[in-house]
Amino acid sequence: MAEDNKQHRIPVKLPSLAFMVCLLISISCWVLVTFSKDYKMTYEYKLVCDNLPEGRKSVTASDTVIELTFNQKGLRYLSKPFTKKDKEVTISVSDLIKPKHKVSVYTFTNKEMCDFLSTHNFGPELVAVSSPEVITFYLR
């Protein structure tokens, strides 16, 4: 009986060395091509305001969530600002309203917000503020 079990075993063949080398080369090529592409990714960020001007007690924004579009390439796609679960963008209200006249209502287009955020928060990876078209800040 013991001899019958030995005869009925199916031999296990290990993959050939050539197959393993080809598999390794193909995986390396896939990684290289995938991480060399340019990606445009849009993320939603919660808007947090700080650094109020003197004499102001609070600020309210017309939108509390903004959508930002980024140009990303390679491993930068995996960097910290883009992979955080709770995505927040902190805006210094004093720096934002500096060029405007002193009033209590400030309106910014998405182009103005994009310029400000790329200068103060994100850098050249930020391409556009996708939504909303206009953000209004009310100071009290």
pLDDT tens string 125-138 = 889 998 889 999 99
Regarding pTM above 0.75, the answer is no
Please check the confidence at residue 79 and state whether its pLDDT lies above 70. no
For 100, phi then psi, to 5°, come to -95, 165
Query: Which domains are delineated in the chain?
Result: 38-139 (2.170.120)
The pLDDT of residue 42: 87
Q: For residue 99, is the peptide bond before it cis, meaning its omega torsion is within 30 degrees of 0?
A: no
Contacts for 128 with CB less than 8 Å, ≥ 6 apart = 68, 69, 110, 114
pLDDT mean over 92-97: 87
87 band by pLDDT with thresholds 50, 70 and 90: confident
pLDDT of residue 70: 86
